[in-house]
Amino acid sequence: MSPPAIPAFGLIIVGDEILSGKRADKHMPKLIELLAARGLQLAWAEYVGDSPERITATLQRAFAGGDVVFSCGGIGATPDDHTRQCAARALGVELALHPEAEALIRERMQDVAREQGVPYEPDRPDNIHRLNMGVFPRDAAIIPNPYNKIPGFGVRNVHFVPGFPVMAWPMMEWVLDRHYRHLFRQRAYLEKSVIVFGAMEATLTPLMEQIERDHPRVKVFSLPSVDHPTYGRHIDLGVKGEPAAVEPAYGQLLAGLRQHVVQLGPELVRE
């Protein structure tokens, strides 16, 4: 029997500041790193600005799918933070102050007052407003924030964390280790490729298509470069998938390449 399907992992980045270029996204490379360390891969990523309509539509698709999704940004309590409200709208549920989140936010406010040497005033308007950061869609579960205690939240397959990397990254790691440990390294993964000189992708496409037909459990990849600092103009051509399936497919790839007028360079292995 075939092993059970491993759910795909996706990433949503929310914020006008990313799309305008004011800030560069650092979450995608970090999530790729966190997943790879656990034998997993990122399947897709999507960027969306601070438009409630677009955020809601994006989250509706995420909730409706079977992928495990991380959403970074927009869960604060300022006017340009819409993610919490959009998540509730996408789910068709009410927003409510989460009791655990309230306790953690109040604890954080007490910590700040103590650090500043002033009394904690729970009924002060700005402190009451801060509780909005714990208003989540109904049935949400909190995601602990080790940086400042202000939690994120998860609903079903979608996990919401702040946009700040210092907070988001340990929170994403906590979600993976807490909820998806059973998926870690469930299936071995291997990439094998060779550097090809003097070839055009169009010429090699029939060979790539034949390999995918003959070996449906692997994917063929072709990464051309025109100015690589080591290899110059070349194609990094290879196959990836489960090791047992990669080996015969890669052998067929090498045999096919030798029938073309190309120069083969170093072979690369990535696990």
User: What pLDDT score does 220 carry?
Assistant: 94
The end-to-end CA distance of the chain, in Å, is 24
The whole-model pTM stands at: 0.81
Tell me, what amino acid is at 143? I
Domain 9-183 matching CATH 3.40.980.10: the answer reads: yes
The reported pLDDT for the residue numbered 3 is 52
Architecture (CATH level 2) of domain 190-270? 2-Layer Sandwich (3.30)
Q: Same CATH fold, 190-270 and 9-183?
A: no
Do the beta carbons of residue 89 and residue 56 sit within 8 Å? yes
Q: Quick check: 96 and 132 in contact, CB under 8 A?
A: no
Q: C-alpha distances in angstroms, 24 versus 2, 156, 214?
A: 41, 29, 41
Domain ranges of the chain: 9-183, 190-270
Of residues 23, 18, 38, the one with CA closest to residue 172: 38
Residue-level pLDDT at 1: 44
In 3D space, the residue among 12, 8, 9, 54 whose CA is nearest the CA of residue 163 turns out to be 12
Chunked mean pLDDT (size 10), the chain, 271 residues? 72 94 94 92 95 96 95 92 96 96 95 92 90 95 96 97 96 97 81 91 92 93 90 92 91 92 90 74
Look at residue 93 in the predicted model and tell me its pLDDT: 97
